Structure formats: structure tokens, C-alpha cells
Amino acid sequence: MSPLSELLTTSMAWLREHGGELMLYTHIILAALFPIYTGAHSSLSQPSSAAKSEQTDEDEEEAIQMMEGLSASDAVVFPVTAGLVLATLYWLIKRYGADIINVILAWYFAGTSIFSVAKLFSDGAELCLSFIFPRYFAVAGQLYEVKEREVVTSKGQDSSRVSPLPGFLGRLPLSKVMWTVRSALKQKYTLEAYVKALLDAKSDFTVLDVTGLLVGIAAVAYNSFVAKPWWLTNVQGFAVSYFALQLISPTSFDIGSLVLCGLFFYDIWAVFFTPLMVTVATKLDQPIKLLFPRPDADTAKRAYSMLGLGDIVLPGLMVGLALRFDLFMFYSRQQAKSANGDATKVPYTPVRGQWGSRFWTRGLPKTSLPATLRNAAFPKPYFTASIIGYTSGMVATLAVMSTFQHAQPALLYLVPAVLSSVWGTAAVRGELRAMWLYSEELSGEALADVVKNDSAKNTQGNVDKSWYETIRDALFGSNLGKSGSNDDQAKGDADVKKQKPAEHVTAAAEQPDTVFSMTIKRRLNTIKQVGTAAQSSEDISKHT
């Protein structure tokens, strides 16, 4: 037998013996990367190195992402708090049993799970929608842009298309139906709700948001009252992780590194030196972990491998920070120097929601693309390095676990891998100082933009928010992301209070006997034109 044949025979024998385990570990790694990748990209918004967006279409409107910033003290607070919570849950399970604790925690996690699944579904549906109804697409080397006024124009050409569908889909004889479907799915509505002394809110939503909310309720209801399949537990785990990565920011790389180092030692203590982590993780049937069926388990009583959400979210915070730093550096490099040495910022173009347009224009030269698509494909060296580091850490964790057949503290391998990849990339690129100084704390111009935006929409402290922001603030507080100085925040609050109340607040003040009111209005899409007033889409006829 030749050496090559012997090698192939040995490899096939190894795959037959370990193929199931290899598939399991691949499943675990991909499942962990999914919420990190999607959550990091969903957290992108205007960096401080870019000027305010000059978008001319409401579809491109993108607010500054409001996130809860961590502080250096959290490097101590997080491990101590986590240890106390873990010890308390362990004691309750031993004292009262896991069943009653699971019932109590199910109600506790219900609201967060519904909201998270709704957010994940609606964002996923919008992603799919961007591939079916992209803003830009190319046909025969020509770039087309789909307008809200139901016009499809060819950039730099005189030709036009009737259908909003891209590529070969545009040949389908369904142009009128597709325009109607596109308009219905993209239409925004405004909900104004008032309950005397309890609630005074105003938020925007779409059909996809309502559908996502129904899906979230159905998922949690099925999981609570019918059955708890492993895949449904994972869906909730994905959603919670995805939401957390948009909610929390390490603020800076030094703070993020300190927090991860503190949790590094906590994870080692909880897994290697106490039975707390393993007991709580195996006894509690809540969306705090991902489950993976083992291929060698008995079908009647299937065994599962587990991955805690902390092993996804905590390193994922640094991965998301690395991606936002990539965007910051991208705009920093584009700043032009004026004669007096001052840097002029380049206007920001939204980078979220461009996947469909990028797919359908992938064959065109980059120079022929609009700024929105060119900037959406910004270089991501730090994000790529952190993803490689996280994957390497997961491979090391699974390899050691497979070798010693014992539960492993994943952060023991993930923290060094992620931190070394990020800081190592900065050292190689000569950008250590830029990374050290980078901070996502809102202050100065960035905070002023947020205050100005809030003030323009504010109603005695109630901002016109999306459904996502409204429910998030109700669950977790309304000061998320406002991590500027106290003086800046006080000034912003003072400016906010001077604004004219919105219609529903004024109506409530004029009618003191009103106890409850709720209205839903269809929000008119506007097309902003330079030098002219915004025009309602209903006032513009269809052109083909």
C-alpha cells in the first residue's frame, strides 16, 4: 500500500470514529459566532470621527446607537456579583429543588425573551427584505436605484425599469403587486399611548416589528406551556445574546480588557474549584445557555453539550468594540486637513442594512458605487482578528474538554485569545495609541448631537422612539448610553425641558379628565430635497 493510500485509509477511519464529535464541535463554534457576528454589525452607528449624516432619504436614517457603557469598577463588580448570584441559585436549588426555581425564573425571563426574539426576528426579516427589495442593484453593468416615489432609475443612464425587484427577478410580471408589497412592508406607523400618571409614550413600528412581537410571544408561550425543545431554547439564547451586544459597550479597550480579566479568574474559580457553575447550568432550564445534542447519546434520553451565554456575550463585547473601532478608524483616515491644520470630518453614511444592495451590485467597480455602498464595505482588520481569536479560543476549549472529558471554563481560553488578537493587531499596525485613546463615552459633539436630536423630538422628557427603544427603556431604564459628563447631561436635560410638548401630551394637559388614550397613525415617508421642503410620498405620482 502506498503512503498516500495508507494516509487516506487512516483518515477515513478517524472520520468514521470521530465524525459525529467533529460535527458537534463545528455546530458549537458556528452557533457561538452567529450572535456575535450579527450583534456586532447591528451595533454600528455614526462614529465620533465622522460628521453628521447628509442622507436625503428617510430609508437611510440611522440614529446614534445608545448603549450602556461599562466602567473600570465593573472589573471587580461583575465577578463578585456573578459569584453571589451563582452561589444563591446553587443554594436555592439544593434547598427547594430546581423545579420551583425554574418556574420563578421562567416568568422573570419571559419579558426579556419575548423582546429579544421579537428584535432578532424583525431585524432578520429586514435583512431578508433587503435582498428582495434592495435600494441599489445592477443589471448588465448598469447601476439602478429604487426610489420611494416608485421610480427605478439607472445611475448615469437614461434607461429605467418598472419593477422594484433586482436582477432576473425584475422579469416577473408582478411589478404593481411588488410595489404594493414593498410599500406595505416598509411603511412606518406611530403609536401614541397615554395612561394618566403611568404612561406617556410615542414610538414608531412597522409590520415586521408587529410580526416579530407575535413570534416572540408564541416562542416563549410554547417553551413555557407546551415543550422545551433544545432548538427553541437556542433561539431564545441567540436572541438574548444578540440583544445584549447592542445594549452593552465596554466603553474603551482598556476597560473591556480589565472586565474580561476579572471574569477570567471568576470562571476558573466557578468551574474548577466549586460545583456551582456546573450544577446551576445543568439544573436550570432557562435561556441562559445553548444546547447541542450529542451524537453518541441514547435517543430515548438524549444528552447535550452546553455553552453558557456568558461565553458568547462577554468576549463578544470586545469583538463588537473592535468592529466599531474599525469604522472609527475608517472615517479618521478620510479626514481632510485644512490650511490651518484642522481636520475636516467626512459626512457619515449609514452602514447597516446594506447587505442586499451590496450583494446585487457586487460585480460593479467600487468607484462606480454610491458612497453608501462604498463605505459599508469598510476594512475590518480588528474585527477579523478578534473573530479569529475567538474561534481559536473555542477550538482550544473544545480540544481540552475532549481530551480530559471534563467541563472547562471557556473564558480561560477565550479571554487570552481575544485580547491578544485585538491588542496584537494594534501593535503590528502601529495603532496602539489610537486604540488606547479610543472611547465610546458620549461627550462633546457626539453628546450634543444626541441631545439636539432628542430635543427636536422630545415631549416633556418623552422622546419619539422606535418600538425597540421604548420597550428597552421600560425594561432596563431610560439613561442607556448617556455616559457623558454630569454637566453635559444636565445641560442636555435642561434643553430638553424647554421644548414644546408633543400633540398627545398637550391634549392630555388640555383634557385633564382623560385617563387613557391610544392612537396609531400612518407615518408619511418624506423625500428631502435640497432647497425645498420635504414632500409626502403620497403627493408624488408614479413615474416609469
| Alpha-helical regions (H) of 226-338 | 230-247, 253-272, 276-283, 310-334
- Of 285, 327, 331, 316, whose CA–CA distance to 386 is shortest? 316
Tell me what pLDDT residue 239 has: 95
- Residue 55, pLDDT score: 61
Residue keyed to cell 474559580? 269
In a domain, residue 286? The reply is yes
Share of the chain above pLDDT 70, in %: 75
Q: Is residue 163 part of a domain?
A: no
| Domain extent for 358 | 19-133+187-497
β-partners of residue 517 are 194
pLDDT digits (tens, 9 = 90+) for 395-430: 999 999 988 888 889 999 999 999 999 999 999 999
Residue 328 resides in a domain: yes
Q: Judging by DSSP bridges, how do beta strands 199-205 and 465-466 pair with one another?
A: parallel
Check residue 155 and give its pLDDT.
61
* pLDDT of residue 229 exceeding 50: yes
Higher pLDDT residue, 106 or 322? 322
CA torsion 79→85→91→95, rounded to 10°?
Answer: -170
The rounded mean pLDDT for the chain is 80
In a domain, 153, yes or no: no
Highest averaged pLDDT of the listed ranges 48-62, 321-335, 434-448, 459-473: 321-335
Three-state secondary structure call for residue 146: strand
55-106 pLDDT, tens digit per residue, is: 655 555 555 667 788 888 888 899 999 999 999 999 999 988 888 888 888 8
Element containing residue 160 per DSSP (H, E): strand 160-161
* Total domains, the chain: 1
Burial class (CB in 10 A: 0-12, 13-18, 19+), 300: exposed
CB 195 within 8 A of CB 515: yes
For residue 140, is it within any domain? Answer: no
Q: How many CB atoms lie within 10 A of CB 449?
A: 17
What's the pLDDT at 444? 44
Grid cell of 426 as nine digits: 494594534
Question: What is the rounded distance in angstroms from the CA atom of residue 251 to the CA atom of residue 481?
Answer: 10
SS3 content of the chain, % helix, strand, coil (to 5): 60, 15, 30
- Which of the residue ranges 6-10, 247-251, 483-487 has the most confident prediction, judged by mean pLDDT? 247-251
Q: What is the pLDDT, as a whole number, of residue 163?
A: 82
* pLDDT value for 202: 82
Model-level pTM greater than 0.85? no
- Look at residue 359 and tell me whether its pLDDT is greater than 80: yes
- Report the pLDDT averaged over residues 115-135: 93
What the block records as the C-alpha cell of 446 is 457626539
Model pLDDT, residue 497: 45
Rg (CA), the chain: 26
C-alpha cell at 9: 485509509
448 in Cβ contact with 485 (< 8 Å): no
Residue 303 has pLDDT above 90, yes or no: no
Q: What angle do CA 309, 313, 316 make, to 5 degrees?
A: 140
Q: Is residue 253 part of a domain?
A: yes
3-state secondary structure of 190: strand
Q: How confident is the model at residue 14 (pLDDT cuts 50, 70, 90)?
A: low
pLDDT at residue 407, rounded to an integer: 84
Rounded CA-CA distance 240/178 in Å is 34
Q: So what's the pLDDT on residue 351?
A: 86
pLDDT at 337: 61
Closest listed residue to residue 446, CA positions, set 494, 484, 499, 473:
484
